Amino acid sequence: MTDVPVRSGSYWMEYGDGPVYPRPPDGLEVDVAVIGAGIAGISTAWELARAGKSVALLEADRVASGVTGHTTAKVSALHGTVYQRLRSTRGPQGAALYARSQQDAIGHLVAVCEELGIDCDLERAPAFTYAETAKEARTVKAEAEAALAAGLPASYVTETGLPFPVAGAVRVEGQALFHPRKYLYALVADLERRGGQIFEGTRIVGLREGEPCRLTTEDGRTVSARDVVVATHYPVFDRSLLFARLKPHRELVVAGVIPAAQDPGGMYLTPEGSTRSVRTAPYGEGERLLIVTGEKFTPGTGRVEERYERLQQWTTRRFPEVRLTHRWAAQDNEPTDGVPFVGALHPRARHSYVATGFNGWGMAGGVMSGKLLAARITGEKPPWTDLYDPVRLRPVKEAPSMMRFQAAAAGHFVGDRLPFVTGGGPASRIAPGGGAVVRKGARHVAVHRDDAGELHAVSARCTHLGCLVRFNDAERTWECPCHGSRFGIGGEVLQGPALHPLERVHDLKETEEGDDA
């Protein structure tokens, strides 16, 4: 295996953190409470503050540090081959509404940057979905026709700016690239100027709906609000069966410096070869930062270092002069019918809303969600409201995806509880830097040995629904393969839907068996 990129960590996160925000005072009352300070939550809070609402933005960690801080930051209405699927599942009108809403989000982001004078490395560029094989080129050509029929400025081309030949590609003009944290910090600053309140280190663990709604934090504080928006990426409250309609996936990212003259001039995606996504960003004088994403996998399925190696090899083979500098990973959720869930939290909800299921396109989706949810809360109804409504349930159309999504989760949920589920060796066999699920009597324990040889042990049962976590050898985290919850080696929650940490285990003397999970 070749050397890994120099720095493990998102390039966007190097921009630094904004101001440190406190926890909310107990008993805080506002018009709207927004849970989650990624692009969907921040956009929603800002739109509502601009509409005159008093808003509290509540973040479990730091502002713009979660999924939004690890994106590839493409703002595009061309989402792989989604328009063929939409034309089949939602009809020509549904596909057209989807295209309009995504194009509207791009235009809105550009307008907000101009209105607030935000310098976020915004660039307009074409987006491409390309194919390298003749078979896949036929699918891409059909997508060009579907995207054009939906109203996008799409065309089918056989030449691109990539340094290798393609068999065909959809090209859509006028899309955008930006630095997400520069944009969102500016939005948060303007949110404060408009009277919005921002709170960090505030994990919400309870929601009681009513008039008003009441939120409860991890440390027992309460926040009351007429309306509540759950924008936590994967919803932490499942009141419209969204857990059965979302499939989490993780993708790896490698980035490196190339000469500006080798910039392929756009943003590119191919569904072939476990997905490959390419874009660049401003970097240094005469240079660009090449950002390549791929190797999609379900959290908790392991062998992440091998996946990084494959992505790195693809990048250096296609861009021989790249000097790799960064690597990181992102997580997203695929919805059953290809359309995000943005709207009422459940069928009887009157004052609770959700935004989730962006399937790798959360930048345009987050801006769209902010506008849509703010409109709903202030009594308006955009034309695409019903398209994104989470309450929609189309059994015939969604059933195959729901069955596929839940088959693996159900397998883990049931299989992890069988009495004969054991492992492959004792904790003493875990090498420095490694991790495994081992047995301590009838209990499963997640054990990590750090580089100094010290063991760190926590319960292996995910606190969401009890599936056994697995070890991510590249990021040194514990991941649940059922619904994508992620935990640090000390058990702390890194990513929901889990709300509570894994219980620490202090005595490993009885540990007998292991599982290189």
**Domain holding 145: CATH number?**
3.30.9.10
Residues 196 and 144 in one domain: no
Question: Which letter does DSSP use for residue 265 in this model?
Answer: S
Q: Does 365 lie in the same domain as 226?
A: yes
Torsion region of 138: left, alpha or beta (phi above 0 gives left; psi -120 to 50 gives alpha): alpha
Q: What is the pLDDT of residues 152-179, one digit of tens each?
A: 999 999 999 999 999 999 999 999 999 9
- Structure confidence by residue, pLDDT tens digits, 423-481: 445 777 888 888 889 887 778 899 999 888 889 999 999 998 888 999 998 889 999 98
Asked if 374 and 328 sit in the same domain, the reply is no
Range of the domain at 55: 7-71+181-241+338-395
Ramachandran sector of residue 449 (left: φ over 0; alpha: ψ -120 to 50; beta: rest): beta
Both structure tokens of 112:
């907000």
Helix (H, G, I), strand (E, B) or coil at 456: strand
Q: pLDDT at position 487, please? A: 94
Q: What integer pLDDT is reported at residue 273 of this predicted model? A: 75
Would residue 85 count as lying in a domain? no
Q: Are residues 148 and 253 in the same domain?
A: yes
Helix, strand, coil percentages (3-state) for the chain, rounded to 5, are 30, 30, 40
Same domain, yes or no, for 159 and 43? no
Q: Is residue 460 part of a domain?
A: yes
Does the pLDDT value for residue 83 go beyond 70? Answer: yes
Helices of type H across 280-417: 304-318, 362-377, 385-388, 395-415
Is the domain of 255 the same as that of 285? Answer: yes
- The answer as to whether 81 is a domain residue is no
Q: Let me know whether 237 and 251 are in one domain.
A: no
Instruction: Tell whether 310 and 265 lie within a shared domain.
Output: yes
Q: Please state the domain count of the chain.
A: 3
Model pTM? 0.90
- Does the residue 1 lie in any domain? no
Last residue of a domain, one of 335, 353, 370: 335
The verdict on residue 401 lying in a domain is: no
Question: Do residues 329 and 342 share a domain?
Answer: no
| pLDDT at site 120 | 97
CATH number, residue 209: 3.50.50.60
**Is 360 in the same domain as 431?**
no
Whether residues 249 and 323 share a domain: the answer is: yes
355 plus 219 within the same structural domain: yes
Q: Are 474 and 431 in contact (CB under 8 A)?
A: no
Lowest mean pLDDT among 36-45, 140-149, 375-384, 486-495: 486-495
- Domain end point (choices 292, 316, 335): 335
**Residue 80 maps to a domain:** no
Is 37 inside any structural domain?
yes
Residue 462 lies in a domain: yes
Check residue 311 and give its pLDDT.
Answer: 96
CATH number at residue 483: 2.102.10.10
CB 276 within 8 A of CB 314: yes
What pLDDT is recorded for position 506? Answer: 80
